[in-house]
Amino acid sequence: MKKLDGKTAYVTGSGRGIGRAVALKLASEGAAVVVNDMDEAPANEVVEEIQQAGGQAVAVAGSVTEADFAERFINTGIETFGGVDIIVNNAGYTWDSFIGKMSDEQFDAMVDVHLKAPFRILRAASGFIREAAEAEAAEGREVFRKVVNISSVAGTGGNAGQVNYSSAKSGVLGLTKTLAKEWGRMKVNVNCVAFGYIETRLTEATDEKKQIDVNGNAIPVGIPSKMAKGMAMMIPVGRPGTPEEAANGVYLFCTPESDYISGQTVIVGGGLTI
């Protein structure tokens, strides 16, 4: 028996980077995974990788900020696998500027993807969770479900040039603590993982000017090599983390060992706390 056998896990932004590593980790421990990416190709590739390893997965492509995404995402998992057991709100990106040059669009974009989208997804799942918890309680059974919201050290300590991102990620902490209180009696553990410097396509050290397209906006990605080296020197363990190491932090809050832990934030940053 694997620790997550029979569980259905929903992971946003899981076609690439940290989200992909989370999806693969949960699948390797027995969970059926609902995979999401803005683009169909990476989402389908992760689904295929899980299936080839003997697991179960289904893809739901689209931006988490779309008005109908949350219901489509949750309903796909219920219709395909029959449950809602683990939700990992991972999708996101950064769009940096100092406050004097930051537009309303930049600020709103970060709030929409990092805070409003998780709220919508959890709201969409609430009906199923409530009904399932009531039925389980009537049968005298304790069945724990897991929510892991993703924040950042920018949300716990702030970061210059990221007032939009930091504000949204700080809001995730409030979302986590409040939902831990609302859903505790339904046996839902709601926790938060705040990442430090994790190497992904968004944070890779590069002196090239690279961009990704998000909803028609050209978003710069990557960190200048000199700056990346300086950031690495600030990390007590001496290097950035890998997506797999980040995923391990999320996995801890998805296991039965976390059944009496809720409303907490753990920084996965190699000792970096800002």
CA 59 to chain centre: 16
Strands 57-61 vs 217-221: parallel, antiparallel or unpaired: unpaired
Contact between 217 and 255 (Cβ < 8 Å): no
Q: Which of 266, 264, 261 is nearest to 246 (CA)?
A: 266
Name residues whose C-beta falls within 8 Å of residue 49's C-beta, 6 or more positions apart in sequence.
24
Paired strand residues for 70:
none
251 is catalytic: no
Dist CA 15 CA 12 (whole Å): 8
Rounded distance between C-alpha atoms, residue 186 and residue 240, angstroms: 37
Q: Which of 10, 93, 165, 197 is catalytic?
A: 165
**Cα distance between residue 151 and residue 246, in whole Å:** 12
Which residues are part of the catalytic machinery? 165
